[in-house]
Amino acid sequence: MQILKNEHLKKYTSVKIGGYAKNLYFPESSDELVELLNNISNNKYYILSGGSNILMNDQKTYEHVISMKKMDTTIKHLGNGKFYVGASAKLQQLIDTINKEGYGGIEYLYSLPALVGGSIAMNAGRGQKSGLSISDYIEEVFIYDQGNKKVLSKEECDFKYRYSNFKGNKSIILGATFTFKKVDINNSTELKKQRMKLVKEEQDKSGYNFGSVFRERNTIIMHLFKLFHPGYKNGMAFSNMTANWLLNKGEGTYDQAITLIKLVERLHKIIGKKAIPEVIIWK
């Protein structure tokens, strides 16, 4: 297992904001992960998946940070469209693999720079109106929780729009089984091309970002907010191109991002609406 000392974490997040890890671990199997967790006596650790949905405090040093990047990248076809997938497998790798086997259904996630474990925890999806999410194809989720390895059914995971019961608790996703639908390879290839074309044309690439900030918010309030608070010059600002995106223009900070998120939440509360963050905040 690789261990890095006093490692700057911003390079491990898509928004390029982060503090330091006193110890950054890269376990290479579930057994190594379990042994590591058993040796962290104070049980104070942070789990880092693909880093695409994390806002870290850039003024803090975290004692124990565990990267899931190398833990289990397995993608194994068990037959009839059922696959076991390790939490460390990249989404693009998963989609390409199942497409080659004649299966699919999640090509709309092809643009996400995420690992499967994090995508399950966030229940990554296309958008609320589409009703599509990665959990549509999940059968079971393998986790480590309170000293034991467990297997949860899909129903036990409480999947909802951009939500699962893995958010906010210490359970760690090790892998999952999926049953994907049969697809034509030409059709799945075209869907991936369409997704990447859409991303290129409609998503704001003028700054680093972590995708959607809120899983629930009022569109009109968000537009009004951006008119009166354009953000910080060369720092954090909400995108004028991609709705619900917060961009780091190069010099963005944790405090700037938190200020904007809290202001949006406060404005929603004043008007009697809800703004529920999707991004995971490391305080």
Tell me how far apart the alpha carbons of residues 206 and 108 are, in angstroms, rounded to a whole number: 22
Q: Is 194 helix (H, G, I), strand (E, B) or coil?
A: helix
Tell me how far apart the alpha carbons of residues 194 and 200 are, in angstroms, rounded to a whole number: 10
**Residue that has been written with the tokens 């090790």 in this structure:** 174
Tell me how far apart the alpha carbons of residues 228 and 115 are, in angstroms, rounded to a whole number: 36
Q: How many residues does the chain have?
A: 283
Label each residue of 11-71 as H, E or C: HHCCCCCCCEEEEEEECCCHHHHHHHHHHCCCCCCEEECCCCCEEECCCCEEEEEEECCCC
Q: What is the pLDDT of residue 127?
A: 79
Q: What is the pLDDT of residue 129?
A: 80
215, two tokens: 């899983």
The three-point CA angle 269-202-250 to 5° equals 70
How much helix, strand and coil, in percent to the nearest 5, is found in the chain? 30, 35, 35
Instruction: Say if residues 221 and 271 touch (Cβ distance below 8 Å).
Output: yes
Tell me how far apart the alpha carbons of residues 93 and 217 are, in angstroms, rounded to a whole number: 32
Q: For the chain, which ranges sit under pLDDT 50?
A: none
Provide the mean pLDDT of the chain.
95
Per-residue pLDDT tens over the stretch 29-71: 999 999 999 999 777 899 999 999 999 999 999 999 999 999 9
User: How many Cβ atoms from other residues are within 10 Å of residue 32's Cβ?
Assistant: 15
Q: What is the pLDDT of residue 146?
A: 83
Q: Chain centroid to CA 226: how far?
A: 25
Instruction: Say if residues 56 and 13 touch (Cβ distance below 8 Å).
Output: yes
Tell me the pTM. 0.93
Q: What is the pLDDT of residue 67?
A: 98
User: How many Cβ atoms from other residues are within 10 Å of residue 131's Cβ?
Assistant: 10
Q: What is the pLDDT of residue 267?
A: 95
**Residue that has been written with the tokens 């609406």 in this structure:** 273
Locate the domains of the chain by residue range: 2-67, 75-187, 204-282
Q: What is the pLDDT of residue 41?
A: 74
Give the strand pairing for 103-104 and 181-182: antiparallel
Q: Of 28, 30, 11, give the one whose Cα is nearest residue 19.
A: 11
Q: What is the pLDDT of residue 128?
A: 78
The three-point CA angle 146-150-152 to 5° equals 120
Tell me how far apart the alpha carbons of residues 113 and 206 are, in angstroms, rounded to a whole number: 17
| Domain 75-187 is found in CATH 3.40.920.10 | no
Pick the CATH number of 2-67 from 3.40.190.150, 1.10.3210.10, 3.20.20.140, 3.30.43.10: 3.30.43.10
**Domain 204-282: assigned CATH number:** 3.90.78.10
